[in-house]
């Protein structure tokens, strides 16, 4: 039986626990690294800064590049809390833990997949057992309801993640070249 201690110590909630189960403790420890992206502040909106990032070379090998950079865009803009008092035109770095990125990706990709498959199968069998609709129509209705349910579920979960400090993207000043991290 697997040691349940990593799950019991999980303070970040369901998603982090799910990531620990999937990637196991040794992989989760390795995932405490940070994802760092360089960007330029293009505008200030109250306590927030709009930062434009340029797609890095690492994006080319990523299977989710179409999600982050739709239509093959080279840049992406993100609204981040301006914790360093950055001004428009200033270069900054955006930092997020890689485990948080994996958990967020898990929500965005797996939840819709689960809902669509589960409700498509349920719709198919419901239609087949009741005889009210053809099994194919039940399947299509299940897919539609699954997409709708997954949209509202992902929307609710992302709002909860936005309030969590663990999933917050931090703005930091760029390090001078040649200095240790």
pLDDT digits (tens, 9 = 90+) for 91-145: 998 888 777 777 777 788 888 999 999 999 999 999 999 989 999 999 999 999 9
Average pLDDT value for the chain = 76
Q: Which one is predicted more confidently, 125 or 37? A: 125
Res 28 pLDDT > 60: no
Q: Which two tokens stand for residue 82?
A: 């301006």
* CA–CA separation, 128 and 159 (whole Å): 37
pLDDT for the residue numbered 167: 76
Rounded CA-CA distance 21/6 in Å is 9
Report pLDDT digits (tens) over 50-82.
998 876 665 665 655 555 555 556 778 888 888
More confident residue, 178 or 7: 178
Give me the pLDDT at residue 115, please: 94
> Average pLDDT for residues 160-173, to the nearest whole number?
80
* Percent with pLDDT over 70 in the chain: 68
Burial of 124 (C-beta count, 10 Å sphere; 0-12/13-18/19+): buried
Identify the residue whose tokens are 């990523």. 62
Concatenating the DSSP letter of every residue in the chain gives ----HHHHT--S-HHHHHHHHHHHHHHHHHTT-EEEEEEEEEEEETTEEEEEEE--GGGGG-TTHHHHSGGG-SEEEEEEE-TT---TT-EEEEEEEHHHHHHHHHHHHHHHHHHHHHHHHHHHHHHHHH-SS-HHHHHHHHHHHHHHHHHHHHHHHHHHHHH-GGGPPEEEPPPPTT---
Is residue 149 within 8 A of residue 157, CB to CB? The reply is no
When pLDDT is cut at 50, 70 and 90, the band that residue 8 belongs to is very low
- Could you count the other beta carbons within 10 Å of the beta carbon of residue 25? 15
**Residue 147 — pLDDT band, cuts 50, 70, 90?**
very high
Average pLDDT (16-28) is: 48
């Amino acid at each position: 039986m697997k040691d349940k201690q990593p799950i019991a110590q999980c303070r970040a909630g369901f998603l982090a626990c799910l990531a620990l189960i999937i990637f196991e403790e040794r992989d989760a420890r390795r995932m405490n690294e940070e994802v760092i992206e360089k960007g330029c502040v293009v505008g200030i909106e109250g306590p927030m800064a709009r930062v434009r990032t340029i797609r890095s070379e690492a994006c080319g090998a990523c299977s989710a590049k179409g999600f982050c950079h739709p239509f093959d865009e080279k840049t992406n803009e993100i609204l981040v809390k301006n914790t360093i008092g950055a001004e428009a035109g200033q270069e900054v770095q955006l930092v997020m833990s890689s485990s948080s990125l994996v958990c967020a990706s898990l929500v965005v990709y797996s939840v819709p997949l689960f809902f669509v498959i589960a409700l498509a199968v349920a719709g198919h069998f419901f239609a087949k057992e009741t005889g009210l609709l053809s099994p194919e129509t039940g399947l299509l209705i299940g897919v539609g309801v699954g997409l709708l349910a997954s949209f509202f579920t992902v929307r609710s979960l992302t709002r909860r993640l936005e309030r969590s400090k663990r999933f917050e993207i931090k703005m930091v000043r760029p390090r001078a070249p040649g200095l240790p991290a």
